[in-house]
Amino acid sequence: MIITGKYPNLRLRRNRNSDWSRRLVRENTLSVNDLILPIFLVDGKNKKQSIKAMPDIYRYSVNRLSEIVDKAVFNKIPMVALFPYTAKNLKNDSGSESLNEDNLVCKAIQFIKKKYKNSIGIMCDVALDPYTSHGHDGLLNKGKILNDETVKILIKQSLLQAQMGCDVISPSDMMDGRIGEIRKNLDKNNFKDVQILSYAVKYASSFYGPFRNAVGSKSLLKGDKKTYQMDYSNNLEAIREVALDIKEGADMVMVKPGMPYLDIVRTIKENFKIPVLAYQVSGEYSLIYNGIKKGIIDKNSIIEVLTGFKRAGANAVVTYFANKIAKDLK
Ligand code: PBG
């Protein structure tokens, strides 16, 4: 620590005195390049459905996807993340709809790639929870999640997404060993340039509720996800998770949820020189959105929180606010 002087010679307020000076000494700046926009998908035609507990967020049918993707491209947001709402009659024990080459995610990837080419990246979740009748991310047998059997399906799900044109494969399932197996299978099938963003540090959290409504898994979910998602009391375990995923071939890693886990973002950034992303999850979005709507906090809170992610060391943030704040960042 270098302090060159003391009060009254030294007055830290001097640098803060005017707007131009504050801009001059600013250490972290949020830009649209730091944002990833999640998009929810729904089957059918001409649909734009609202979602319980996620104000001002919608599910789009593929033929209306342009409405939101146009905005993202216009705003120069680098990437969208796709999440399907799967109809109940397509869900089963094994989540087999995840491997259907005509499923919603496949259609959406093809649509976006065809229309927008490489002007925006596409990232897809790899996990079974939108497709299983029990709402878990993996296969369930007598109340237990089967790790290795699940990984076998995730490998296929990833390959399918890559074949459709997905740029960034994002396993969010938290099974052990899946990054290495997915990388091996992608390479074997000549998808050497498809990136892997591992949700390496994903905590079992109460902040995912609105998302589970959005993908239709909330009412189905039996029990909790604590045998695969991390215990929120742990810090060192996050380092082990990231170290393993890097060894297995992850190109980027994610910390999730966001705001309560900024210390983890910082820890990962300091321990590994790899791009670290953070996910400001659905519960965080809805809390802030409702707080603003009720006049409890003001609108600037959105950028304040997102700048906090940057300050903590995140390279980018997945946020439902992406399109809504892009104009303010220009
Ligand atoms: C599931 C998945 C979840 C989220 C992204 N992928 C929820 C969960 O693990 O139950 C949460 C995102 C959010 O809350 O915004 N694989």
| pLDDT tens track for 298-323 | 999 999 999 999 999 999 999 999 99
What is residue 59's three-state secondary structure?
Answer: strand
CB 129 near ligand 1, within 6 Å: yes
C-alpha to C-alpha distance for 71 and 174, rounded to whole angstroms: 32
Residue 256 bears catalytic tag: yes
Instruction: Give the amino acid at 250.
Output: A
Q: What is the pLDDT of residue 3?
A: 72
Q: What is the pLDDT of residue 5?
A: 86
C-alpha to C-alpha distance for 304 and 100, rounded to whole angstroms: 41
The model's pTM is 0.97
Region 54-76: mean pLDDT is: 98
Structure tokens at 219: 């009412």
Write the residue with the smallest CA distance to atom 10 of ligand 1. 208
Closest CA to 164 of 215, 99, 67: 99
What is residue 135's three-state secondary structure?
Answer: coil
Q: What is the pLDDT of residue 203?
A: 98
Q: What is the pLDDT of residue 150?
A: 98
Q: What is the pLDDT of residue 213?
A: 94
210 and 237 Cβ atoms separated by less than 8 Å: no
Share of the chain above pLDDT 90, in %: 97
According to DSSP, the residues that pair with 122 across neighbouring strands are 80
Q: What is the pLDDT of residue 174?
A: 97
Region 174-182: mean pLDDT is: 98
Taking the alpha carbons at both ends of the chain, their separation in whole angstroms is 34
Inform me whether the pLDDT recorded for 2 exceeds 80.
no
* DSSP label at residue 37: E
Whether the ω angle into residue 257 lies within 30 degrees of 0, i.e. cis, is yes
Inform me whether the pLDDT recorded for 260 exceeds 90.
yes
Question: Element (H or E) spanning 145, and its range?
Answer: strand 144-146
Closest CA to 172 of 216, 203, 134: 203
110-to-41, 103, 113, 115, 121 alpha-carbon distances in Å: 13, 11, 5, 8, 12
Share of the chain above pLDDT 70, in %: 100
C-alpha to C-alpha distance for 35 and 87, rounded to whole angstroms: 29
Task: Enumerate the domain spans of the chain.
Answer: 29-329
CB 320 near ligand 1, within 6 Å: no
In degrees to the nearest 10, what's the CA dihedral of 245, 250, 252, 256? -40
Region 139-149: mean pLDDT is: 97
C-alpha to C-alpha distance for 323 and 135, rounded to whole angstroms: 29
Distance of CA 316 to the CA centre of its chain: 10
Q: What is the pLDDT of residue 330?
A: 83
- pLDDT (tens digit, 9 = 90+) per residue, 205-249? 999 999 999 999 999 998 999 999 999 999 999 999 999 999 999
C-alpha to C-alpha distance for 137 and 129, rounded to whole angstroms: 4
Inform me whether the pLDDT recorded for 56 exceeds 90.
yes
Residue 6 bears catalytic tag: no
C-alpha to C-alpha distance for 297 and 288, rounded to whole angstroms: 8
Structure tokens at 104: 């919603």
- pLDDT (tens digit, 9 = 90+) per residue, 72-113? 999 999 999 999 999 999 999 999 999 999 999 999 999 999
User: Cα(211) to centroid of ligand 1, in Å?
Assistant: 6
User: Cα(256) to centroid of ligand 1, in Å?
Assistant: 9
CATH of 29-329, one of 3.40.50.280, 3.40.50.1100, 3.20.20.70, 3.40.50.2000: 3.20.20.70
Whether the ω angle into residue 8 lies within 30 degrees of 0, i.e. cis, is yes
Probe target for ligand 1 pocket from 41, 54, 129, with the most ligand atoms within 8 Å of CB: 129
CB 125 near ligand 1, within 6 Å: yes
Write the residue with the smallest CA distance to atom 9 of ligand 1. 208
Structure tokens at 49: 């459905």
